[in-house]
């Protein structure tokens, strides 16, 4: 075999790591980007360009490493992504990236590991903002001088994955003084597709509360990481598909699923007597919480599988003057406890890897349980609200 040079020549460990990350991101986003993905058997479908780019670069690395490259997209997807853990690929990774044993496809579906590396190819925040509806609602709420409308919409979609015809009508009529509200709901919920239903019904996961599309074999099992981990996952409930509406898949992934741990934390703080404001100032933070005695906190909840990738996403916490109704005394970045249980190095990697955390030593990184336990408990019920 002639050693033709493909692409740039990487030298030095940092650039080798960077090259490996670029390939992983390209392949992962290619897998996630495959529309109508139905497993490795349906490869004749046109595939994402980034998959081809990833394949080309991976092949070049294999040649450099003297190992056999994947022989085409089918081999890359069906064997490399579905069967081989990423640490067996001839690429170099930072140990903190924790690629050991991770596969990009599990049961023919992009794994959580794959989804986070796919997002790494773009920018997760930009991606949510790119969602025209989310941006439109934010902008309109700002123009109306009613930022709480954005929080209210977000709270609603997080709590409602499937709506029957009557519920949908009631939801559209819930905010009568805002003529845009019914349109927002029309655009957030689509009719039930054939792929999303089974036997005229839609399944809703008993764990995460999201609708579940049945698999090709008719089985209904939630693929959300937290639900897959649970041994006591309640059976799904079933709703009549006729006339029902489903939360758009993009909103499930970028709004409703991340919203669950945020809402869960908000309720636990309220149960200790706090007044909890969700998504203050159009999502500048996930929540701020106030206790009558003067204790106040600002919180961002981050529910990521990879601390290595999360470390790149941490933002600067906003600081509001004491006259501001959202001003808080202490800032926290909260990681759900089950993420830490699943990965003993999580906190260490996150704090060592994040520049934003090093630049903001006053921001504490804690798990949800520890934060709740450190807050006052007045023995009375507080509230969770969407505006100041």
Between 63 and 208, name the residue whose CB sits nearer to Zn ion.
208
Tokens of 353: 């890897």
- Minimal distance, residue 252 CB to Zn ion, in Å: 10
Measured from the CB atom, is 172 or 221 closer to Zn ion? Answer: 221
Min. distance of Cβ 208 from Zn ion in angstroms? 3
* Structural contact between residues 205 and 246, judged by C-beta atoms closer than 8 angstroms: no
When the beta carbons of 227 and 333 are compared against Zn ion, the nearer one is 227
Given a contact cutoff of 8 angstroms between Cβ atoms, the answer to whether 195 and 213 are in contact is yes
Residue 111 CB, shortest distance to Zn ion, in Å, is 15
Identify which of residues 224 and 269 has a Cβ nearer to Zn ion in the complex: 224
Smallest separation (angstroms) from Zn ion to the CB of 5:
47
- Closer residue to Zn ion, CB minimum distance, 182 or 207: 207
Q: How far is the CB of 220 from Zn ion (least distance, A)?
A: 10
CA distance 284 to 280: 6
- d(Cα 82, Cα 85) in Å, to the nearest integer? 8
**Which residues of this chain interact with Zn ion, rule CB under 5 A?**
205, 207-208, 222, 224, 227
Shortest CB 115 distance to Zn ion, Å: 15
Closer residue to Zn ion in complex, CB, 48/262: 262
Distance CA 352, CA 349 (A): 5
- The residue (of 113 and 328) whose beta carbon lies closer to Zn ion is 113
**Minimal distance, residue 264 CB to Zn ion, in Å:** 14
How far is 222 from 239, CA to CA, in rounded Å?
16
CA-based torsion, 84, 89, 95, 98: positive or negative: negative
Least separation in angstroms between CB 254 and Zn ion: 16
Nearer to Zn ion, 27 or 252 (CB): 252
Which residue, among 89, 79, 87, has the nearest Cα to 59 in the 3D structure? 89
**Nearest residue (CB) to Zn ion, 77 versus 205:** 205
Taking a C-beta distance cutoff of 8 angstroms, is the pair 241, 206 a contact?
no
For the bound state, the minimum distance from the C-beta of residue 207 to Zn ion, rounded and expressed in Å, comes to: 4
Specify burial of residue 13 (Cβ count, 10 A radius: 0-12, 13-18, 19+). Answer: exposed
């Amino acid at each position: 075999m002639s050693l033709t040079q493909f692409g740039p020549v990487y030298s030095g460990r940092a650039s080798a790591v960077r090259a490996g990350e670029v390939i992983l991101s390209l392949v992962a986003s290619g897998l996630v980007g495959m529309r109508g993905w139905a497993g490795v058997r349906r490869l004749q479908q046109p595939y994402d360009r980034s998959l081809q780019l990833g394949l080309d670069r991976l092949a070049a690395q294999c040649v450099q490493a003297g190992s056999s490259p994947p022989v085409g997209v089918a081999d890359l997807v069906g064997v490399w992504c579905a069967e081989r853990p990423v640490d067996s690929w001839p690429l170099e990774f930072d140990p903190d990236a924790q690629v050991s044993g991770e596969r990009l496809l599990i049961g023919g579906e992009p794994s959580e590991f794959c989804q986070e590396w796919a997002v790494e190819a773009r920018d997760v925040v930009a991606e949510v903002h790119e969602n025209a509806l989310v941006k439109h609602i934010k902008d309109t709420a700002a123009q109306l001088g009613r930022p709480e409308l954005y929080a209210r919409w977000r709270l609603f979609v997080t709590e409602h994955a499937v709506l029957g015809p009557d519920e949908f009508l009631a939801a559209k009529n819930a905010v009568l003084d805002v003529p845009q509200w019914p349109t927002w709901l029309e655009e957030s919920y689509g009719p039930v597709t054939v792929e999303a239903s089974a036997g005229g019904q839609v399944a809703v996961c008993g764990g995460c509360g999201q609708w579940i599309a049945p698999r090709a074999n008719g089985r209904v099992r939630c693929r959300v990481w937290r639900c897959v981990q649970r041994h006591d996952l309640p059976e799904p409930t079933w709703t009549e598909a006729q006339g029902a509406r489903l939360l758009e898949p993009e909103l499930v992934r970028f709004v409703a699923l991340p919203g669950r741990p945020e809402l869960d934390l908000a309720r636990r703080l309220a149960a200790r007597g706090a007044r909890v404001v969700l998504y203050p100032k159009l999502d500048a933070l996930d929540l701020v919480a106030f206790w009558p005695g003067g204790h106040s906190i600002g919180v961002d909840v981050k529910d990521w599988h990879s601390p290595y990738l999360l470390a790149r996403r941490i933002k600067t916490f906003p600081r509001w003057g004491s006259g501001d109704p959202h001003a808080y005394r202490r800032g926290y970045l909260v990681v759900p406890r089950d993420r830490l249980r699943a990965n003993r190095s999580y906190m260490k990697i996150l704090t060592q890897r994040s520049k934003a955390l090093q630049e903001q030593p006053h921001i504490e990184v804690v798990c949800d349980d520890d934060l709740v336990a450190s807050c006052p408990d007045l023995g009375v019920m507080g509230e969770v609200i969407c505006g100041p």
